[in-house]
């Protein structure tokens, strides 16, 4: 059998020595013509493979370049060098894949994140992105484990849909009709989608929520975790055109139940990552500390990454209403001194990221759950409160990134839902299947959506959302 390798993480974690082992990985550096720093992606730490002088043919040594892939067999011996307990004294080295040292873009030096985004297919081989994507994996696993432990049903909702769950209209169209102007037309000149593949206009989904509600009316507790899409022209460090969403939907939950579930969930997955990716998070914390030193003192975080994560796990989230938040923002020195780009003048405005971050980072200095937003700035499916002005919505705001969760108690009353759809010009005839859940056995229910990349961003401390998804999609960019 070719693959009898021991993973480098496993080898370095133990103090066992004086046995033969096979390792495979990519050369990070080769110095003094005998010391190979080998990495296989299981950890950021390299294994030192010693190619004893005079033991290997010069033709092999010349091919031990940065980026080359090798298989090494030898004896695991106690290491005399600092930083690791063991090293491999090679008896055999096989080159599995050559790497032209002059052309390989990842030289053993510091590279900017902007440069690495241009070579996203290779950036996995750096320490920073090795750590990020191992943490991302752990968080994804923790998501499933959290809901599985609570007996939720994992529902795969459609990626191609005919509905716009958010009512925002920022959707990618899916069609097989020709784009050269020869698509079939109706009498009024509009495109005849009856001739299209699905016989109607279809798009990439912006949310699995509406379909999730259908399943919650049968299973009680469900969650979705899949890709979602927004065709908004946002070239920012917070937005992606393709991202992953986690959306639980729970029958018999009200707004408070919803908040409790979301807070418990966030704390669980962060704690899980801290327990299982300690080494990676310590590396990322060190990286962030170095990055912070280059910022003006006023812009630096008051807490390091590990302290921030512990703070979230160990403290209750601050809960307040939108109305209370507006009052705090309106009376803040930040607002009075016109330091906000969007000044808060009164009730009813939609909060911007700068307002959310002020509440979290400057005022409360902890995660915040805002509730009961004006109905005009929220979606049609959110439950109307008794005041007739607000809906039972909740957003969770996190330090560094602002909104990380958006959710609500859903409007289960058929007449109220129809009224809201009319007010917001949502066509009821296109959502008759959704309205059936209110016609046949309706019940109070609630749910939320959490953007997975924003969670990964928060846990890794990365400043740009494009650095926490393997192949970022944003305006004018769909590489790889």
Q: What is the pLDDT of residue 166?
A: 59
* Residues 205-220: tens digit of each pLDDT: 999 999 999 999 999 9
Mean pLDDT over 86-114 rounds to 94
> Please, what is the average pLDDT of the chain?
93
Q: What is the pLDDT of residue 168?
A: 56
* Residues 215-242: tens digit of each pLDDT: 999 999 999 999 999 998 888 887 899 9
| pLDDT value at 458 more than 90 | yes
Q: What is the pLDDT of residue 164?
A: 67
The dihedral through the CA atoms of 4, 7, 10, 15 has a sign that is positive
What percentage of residues in the chain have a pLDDT greater than 90? 82
Q: In the structure, what pLDDT confidence band is assigned to residue 12 with cuts at 50, 70 and 90?
A: very high
- What domains lie within the chain, and their CATH numbers? 8-106 (2.40.50.140), 125-171+206-467 (3.30.930.10)
Mean pLDDT over 251-273 rounds to 98
* Residues 150-167: tens digit of each pLDDT: 999 999 999 999 876 655
More confident call, 294 vs 66? 66
Burial per residue of 90-107, b for 16 or more beta-carbon CB atoms within 10 angstroms, e otherwise = beebebeeebebeeeebe
pTM of the shown model: 0.94
| pLDDT value at 300 more than 80 | no
How far apart CA 404 and CA 381 sit, in angstroms, is: 20
Q: What is the pLDDT of residue 169?
A: 61
Q: Which pair of structure tokens corresponds to residue 228?
A: 């979602």
In 3D space, the residue among 344, 312, 316, 350 whose CA is nearest the CA of residue 331 turns out to be: 344
Mean pLDDT over 393-412 rounds to 93
Q: What is the pLDDT of residue 72?
A: 98
Dump the DSSP string for 340-403. Answer: SSS---STTPPPPHHHHHIIIIIIISS-EEEEEEEGGGS-TTBPBPTTSSEEEEEEEEETTTEE
């Amino acid at each position: 059998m070719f693959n009898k390798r021991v993973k480098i993480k496993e080898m370095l974690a133990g103090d066992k020595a004086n046995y033969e082992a096979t390792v495979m990985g990519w050369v990070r550096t080769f110095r003094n013509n005998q010391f190979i720093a080998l990495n296989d992606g299981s950890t950021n730490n390299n294994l030192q493979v010693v190619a004893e002088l005079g033991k290997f043919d010069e033709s092999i040594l010349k091919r031990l370049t940065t980026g080359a892939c090798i298989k090494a067999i030898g004896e695991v011996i106690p290491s005399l060098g600092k930083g690791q307990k063991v090293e491999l004294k090679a008896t055999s080295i096989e080159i599995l894949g050559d790497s032209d040292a002059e052309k390989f873009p990842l030289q053993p030096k510091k590279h900017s994140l902007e440069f690495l985004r241009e070579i996203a297919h290779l950036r996995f081989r750096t320490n920073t992105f090795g750590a990020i994507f191992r943490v991302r994996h752990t968080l994804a696993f923790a998501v499933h484990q959290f809901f599985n432990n609570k007996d939720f049903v994992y529902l795969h909702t459609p990626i191609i849909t005919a509905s716009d769950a958010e009512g925002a209209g920022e959707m990618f169209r899916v069609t097989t009709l020709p784009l050269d102007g020869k698509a079939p037309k109706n009498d009024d000149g509009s495109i005849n989608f009856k001739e299209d593949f699905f016989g109607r206009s279809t798009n990439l989904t912006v949310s699995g929520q509406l379909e999730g509600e259908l399943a919650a009316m049968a299973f009680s507790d469900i969650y979705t975790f899949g890709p979602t899409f927004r065709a908004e022209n946002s070239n920012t460090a917070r937005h992606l055109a393709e991202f992953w969403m986690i959306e639980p939907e729970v029958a018999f939950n009200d707004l408070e139940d919803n908040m409790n579930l979301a807070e418990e969930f966030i704390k669980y997955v962060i704690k899980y990552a801290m327990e299982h990716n300690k080494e990676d998070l310590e590396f990322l914390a060190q990286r962030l500390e170095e990055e912070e030193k280059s910022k003006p003192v006023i812009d630096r975080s008051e807490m390091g990454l590990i302290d921030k994560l512990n703070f979230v796990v160990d403290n209750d989230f601050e809960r307040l209403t939108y109305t209370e938040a507006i009052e705090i923002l309106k009376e803040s020195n930040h607002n009075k001194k016109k330091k906000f780009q969007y000044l808060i003048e009164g009730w009813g405005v939609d909060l911007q990221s700068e307002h959310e971050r002020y509440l979290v980072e400057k005022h409360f200095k902890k995660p915040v759950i805002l509730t009961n937003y004006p109905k005009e700035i929220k979606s049609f499916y959110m439950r109307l409160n008794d005041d007739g002005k607000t809906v039972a919505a909740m957003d969770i705001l996190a330090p560094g990134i602002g909104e990380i969760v958006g959710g609500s108690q859903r409007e289960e009353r058929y007449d109220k839902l129809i009224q809201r759809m009319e007010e917001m010009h949502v066509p009821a005839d296109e959502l008759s299947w959704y309205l059936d859940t209110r016609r046949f056995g309706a019940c109070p229910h609630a749910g939320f959506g959490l953007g997975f990349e924003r969670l990964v961003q928060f846990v890794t401390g990365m400043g740009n959302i494009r650095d926490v998804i393997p192949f970022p999609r944003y305006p004018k960019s769909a590489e790889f």
